[in-house]
Amino acid sequence: MDNLIFCLNATVPIFLLMILGLILKKIGWTDDVFAEKMNEFVFLVPLPVLLFEDLATVDFAEVWNLKFVLFCFVTTFISITLAAAVSFLWRDKSIQGEFIQASYRSSAALLGIAFIHNIYGNAGMAPLMIISSVPLYNVMAVVVLSFFQPDRKKLDRGVWIATLKGIVKNPIIIGIAAGFLWSGLKLPLPPVMEKTISNIGAVATPMGLMAMGATFDVRKAFGKAKPAIVAAAMKLVGFTAIFLPLAVWMGFRGEELVAILIMLGSASTVSCFVMAKNMGHEGVLTSSVVMLTTMFSALTVTGWLYILKSFSMI
């Protein structure tokens, strides 16, 4: 029951922020132009700052576990590959990029530390899981959304160069690179700078959620119901069912398993929508998947935790 209550406390406020954005749009307090500007701002400033903060404050040497890091990285890469393969089943090729990203990308940084801290009293293996998966999440999201743009042209030399330039100049990639560099050089974060960065990063999730709710089109979402349901099922159940037993077989236990579970089976992050909208995609499929996974993750994550606890794995 405690795990269920915790999951609900973690997911319901997220869903309510999206509903708030939708309500504000309906009563006329926001409009499409304002929501688009909010999305653009989140993409350019708070989201890269949030990723920088996650990586810059991690002491790699203290928490390093090569076996765990390699498992998280390889599992994430295989999940992306499987999502890409499934995306070719859809007739509407304009949704491929959104489908792939929303299918594999978890709220790992947001929920990972919270879940592990709630169970074990410390962050445990969450920072290592973040190091292994979150940079790959974001780098591959930029690549996928670049190459599967709805209006993409033939992939000649010019398109390849433009795409690679877009990846290098992407604010998300810059935030990740800066975080790695800051941590690697062991540079300190003065209290004033740390507080400022934390405040800016904290804006990303609530603002992104409200903007997503404001631009959510229920009629269009029903038109993409099938791919949204498939993506949500893959995100919450499919990848976890494939890779969690493998993690158990490889000897991972306790906080390692919880971190892997959150990496594989938590809700799709709101960052998916922010990036999709700002990289030339419609965003309807992404917002539908985020809503579905947010609503049902409290049940699925609690179910996975219950199974692990029943077999004394955590």
Domains and CATH numbers, the chain: 2-310 (1.20.1530.20)
Quick check: 123 pLDDT over 60? Answer: no
Q: Is 290:267 a contact under the CB 8 Å cutoff? A: yes
Read off the pLDDT band of 219 (50, 70, 90). Answer: low
Cβ atoms < 10 Å from Cβ of 36: 15
Hey, CA dihedral for 199, 175, 274, 257, is it positive or negative? negative
pLDDT at residue 160 in the model = 63
Give the CA-trace dihedral at 150, 156, 159, 164, to 10 degrees: 120
Average pLDDT value for residue range 244-266: 86
For residues 157 and 229, give the distance between their C-alpha atoms in angstroms, rounded to a whole number.
36
Q: Is 144:97 a contact under the CB 8 Å cutoff? A: yes
For residues 3 and 174, give the distance between their C-alpha atoms in angstroms, rounded to a whole number.
36
Choice between 157 and 276, residue whose per-residue pLDDT is larger: 276
Residue 157 exposed, middle or buried by CB count within 10 Å (0-12, 13-18, 19+): exposed
Q: Where are the beta strands (DSSP E) in the chain?
A: none
pLDDT in tens, 292-310: 887 787 688 878 887 887 7
pLDDT in tens, 142-164: 888 887 877 665 555 665 676 66
Q: What percent of the chain has pLDDT over 90?
A: 13
3-state class (DSSP) for residue 289: helix
pLDDT at residue 115 in the model = 60
Among 20-24, 119-123, 225-229, 238-242, whose mean pLDDT is lowest?
A: 119-123
pLDDT in tens, 90-118: 887 788 889 999 898 887 655 555 566 55
Average pLDDT value for residue range 273-287: 81
